[in-house]
Chain A
């Protein structure tokens, strides 16, 4: 690839900007688990209020459900972190 120095810098800037924007967009994935977990916890509290005798079961089930629901958020978070810190696309510029 035949870039002049300035062109390379411009290309790097575009890639970095794209990565930053991508990271920001990736963290939108945090909305879903937030809503879902909030809903799950609310339901769990309702259940505990109605049937206090199954408190421990409800709590542990809620935690497991939250951990599973968190997965999509974690995916977004990982993608965001990779985009921010691992700079996966810079190597395609072929410096």
Chain B
């Protein structure tokens, strides 16, 4: 078969139509099998990245709001605890005062009792001493006057006398 060549500068209709079809087919293949797929993947990835950033932002905001909440709670808890401590202190003060006043009362009672005891003891001692003194005085007087006196009458006399003395002292 003889080899047939086209002219160097020749427009061949079949080549033109074929090239047109080739270009369109290649355009379709490249668009459908490469660009659409890659663009979809890129879009997915961009969306995911954007979503990740959004999530991170919301998480950050959540964390911040929680932090402020916690801070508020913490400060309110501090106030509360201060309140509690203050109340406790007040209660304790009251209790302390009560205790102290009770103790003071008790002490005063004890002191009073002790005073009255002392008074009574003193009276008893004084009475005893009076008795003894009167006895001694009587015996002294008996010895002095050598004379048996009516002990009861004299005793009365001496007691009055000592009573005067005691009142005077």
Direct A/B contact, Cβ within 8 angstroms:
yes
Within 8 A of B (CB), among A64-94: 82, 86
**Across the two chains, which residue of chain A brings its CB closest to B7?**
A86
- Complex Cα distance, B8 from A70, in Å, reads 21
Q: How far is the CB of A82 from chain B (nearest CB, A)?
A: 6
Dominant SS among interface residues on chain A: helix
User: How many residues from B make CB contacts under 8 Å with A?
Assistant: 2
**Across the two chains, which residue of chain A brings its CB closest to B9?**
A82
Q: How far is the CB of A84 from chain B (nearest CB, A)?
A: 12
- Complex Cα distance, B9 from A82, in Å, reads 9
**Across the two chains, which residue of chain B brings its CB closest to A86?**
B8
Given the complex, which residues of A lie within 8 Å of B9, measured CB to CB?
A: 82
Q: How far is the CB of B113 from chain A (nearest CB, A)?
A: 108
A residues in contact (CB < 8 Å) with B: 82, 86
**3 A-B residue pairs with CB within 8 Å:** A82-B8, A82-B9, A86-B8
